Chain A
Amino acid sequence: MGIIVKKGAIGTINGKTGNVVTTKWKDIDVVKSAPGKNNKKKGAKPQPQNLKLGLMSKMLSKFKKQIKIGFDKKTNKLPGFQMAMEYNIEHAIKGEHPNFEIDYEKVIFSRGCGDIAWGGSLTLLEDNDFLLTWETAPTSSLKKNGKDILQVMVWESTKGLSEKYKESTVTRDALSTVRALQTTLVPGTVHVWIFFSSPDGKTVSNTRYMGSLQPTSENFMFFKNELQQPTQEE
């Protein structure tokens, strides 16, 4: 793999040219040889590693921004997403080949020494809102880490959908937050994780799995209102 040091007058080229591919890796312009011919036989059974990779990348690729906050460090040799994949494939997949499943309780999106969210609960409210609560350790000081920013990951496992990323403004000292579930995630089984990141982004806590919810379409207020509205015939 070669690194492009001098850029041309019109910048660099991206894509395949003959036997080489020009691309960006960790914000560095690089040239590498084009992938070779695939010699795998059609219909061959996928290897366990390929199944695990597909299963985990399908989920984690939806949380790239949170993983960037939770795993990216200048001192790391690997990019944050690659580290998250490596850890989760090793620790958060259960089952035997070929019936692998994600162990949602063990999935992590961040790894660090910051105070984790202790205690806490996850409750489904009316209109498919959900209430998240957490606690702080009695020995830790909210003056010190109260302004840590809450990061929430929401994943619907049956359809394989995630909540769209929004920049969070909720801080640790709020101790609770209410969020609305996106309509696309309902109905289904929704898993929720949280972690905290310091305002300067240097410290993150480990991820905490808060639990799962079973929201239904009937729980939406507009749906309820429609049910309650009298028809013209009445």
Chain B
Amino acid sequence: MGKYKNGQPGGPVGRWGDYVTYYRLGKLTTRRVSKPTKFTDAQLSNQMGTALITFLLGPVQDFVKVSMKNSPKDPGWSAYNLASSVNKLGAITGSYPNKAVDFKKVVLSIGDIPAPLNPQVSLTDNKISFTWEADLDTEGCDENDQIMCVAYLPETLQAFKIFHGAYRTEERQIVPLPAYSGKMVIETYLCFTSADRERVSNSVYTGPLVWDKQ
């Protein structure tokens, strides 16, 4: 992306398509971008991290757009930028070429509402049941807060999402699963959103479930 550093008459500086413009020895220079044929291990490691995060966030992109809409971020950053940055730095373990996503550390929302207290998850009769404690005495907890939850299937890159489900006081949210035969691991996450959808809580990892329906 080219930027006008010295105003428009100064010309854009930076990359624009296949061309890059910069000041060299005081002169505005434009040249065609060379295509690298070899990458260092550090570059390959970074590329692998980006690829892992792209696959991770693909199925929950619409969820993150809602949950991180008002999270604190740098000017010009989108919710997706924030989600990929936070997770690339915090949710990837191992070193290249054995990098992997640590689902315990994945963050799907950032906010100042108190997170669900004592969250639990169970799977029975093809339904996922999320439970929590209302915890209305804690400052910042509102009875109109609604639950947002994600059941993430890493193997098929699918996610079942509830954007605004049960109220905080209901202390239970059911997520029905579709008919499917096979065995899969489901990673689950919970967070709260306020009634006006302007504030959220931090997301909480509630653990993996094994969906084994033959």
Residues of A bordering B, CB below 8 Å: 112-113, 115-116, 118-120, 135-140, 206
Shortest distance in angstroms between A47's beta carbon and chain B's nearest beta carbon? 25
Point out the residues of chain A lying under 8 angstroms from B175, CB to CB.
138-139
Point out the residues of chain B lying under 8 angstroms from A120, CB to CB.
179
CA distance A116 to B160 in the complex (A): 12
Q: Taking A113-B58, A139-B162 as contacts, is the C-beta distance between A206 and B156 under 8 angstroms? A: yes
A136 touches B178 (CB 8 A): yes
Question: With an 8 A cutoff between CB atoms, is B65 at the interface?
Answer: no
B58 touches A138 (CB 8 A): no
B160 touches A137 (CB 8 A): yes
CA distance A118 to B177 in the complex (A): 10
A138 touches B178 (CB 8 A): yes
A116 touches B162 (CB 8 A): no
Number of residue pairs across A and B with beta carbons under 8 Å? Answer: 37
CA distance A38 to B130 in the complex (A): 64
CA distance A115 to B177 in the complex (A): 13
Question: With an 8 A cutoff between CB atoms, is B4 at the interface?
Answer: no
Shortest distance in angstroms between A112's beta carbon and chain B's nearest beta carbon? 8
CA distance A140 to B176 in the complex (A): 11
B162 touches A118 (CB 8 A): no
CA distance A139 to B178 in the complex (A): 9
A118 touches B58 (CB 8 A): no
Question: With an 8 A cutoff between CB atoms, is B180 at the interface?
Answer: yes
Point out the residues of chain B lying under 8 angstroms from A115, CB to CB.
158
Shortest distance in angstroms between B180's beta carbon and chain A's nearest beta carbon? 5
CA distance A155 to B166 in the complex (A): 46
A119 touches B178 (CB 8 A): yes
Smallest CB gap from B150: residue in A = A139
Question: With an 8 A cutoff between CB atoms, is B136 at the interface?
Answer: no
Smallest CB gap from A140: residue in B = B160
Question: With an 8 A cutoff between CB atoms, is B172 at the interface?
Answer: no
Point out the residues of chain B lying under 8 angstroms from A139, CB to CB.
160-162, 175-176
Residue-wise, chain B 31-64 has the 8 Å CB interface mask toward A (1 for contact) of 0000000000000000000000000001101000
CA distance A116 to B156 in the complex (A): 9
Point out the residues of chain A lying under 8 angstroms from B160, CB to CB.
137-140
CA distance A136 to B178 in the complex (A): 7
Point out the residues of chain A lying under 8 angstroms from B59, CB to CB.
113
Point out the residues of chain A lying under 8 angstroms from B158, CB to CB.
113, 115-116, 137, 206
Question: With an 8 A cutoff between CB atoms, is B157 at the interface?
Answer: yes
CA distance A204 to B110 in the complex (A): 29
CA distance A140 to B156 in the complex (A): 16
Shortest distance in angstroms between A59's beta carbon and chain B's nearest beta carbon? 23
Residue-wise, chain B 171-185 has the 8 Å CB interface mask toward A (1 for contact) of 000011111100000
B179 touches A138 (CB 8 A): no
B178 touches A118 (CB 8 A): yes
Question: Can you pick out 7 interface pairs between chain A and chain B where the beta carbons lie within 8 Å of each other?
Answer: A119-B178, A119-B179, A137-B160, A137-B178, A138-B160, A138-B176, A206-B158
Shortest distance in angstroms between A172's beta carbon and chain B's nearest beta carbon? 13
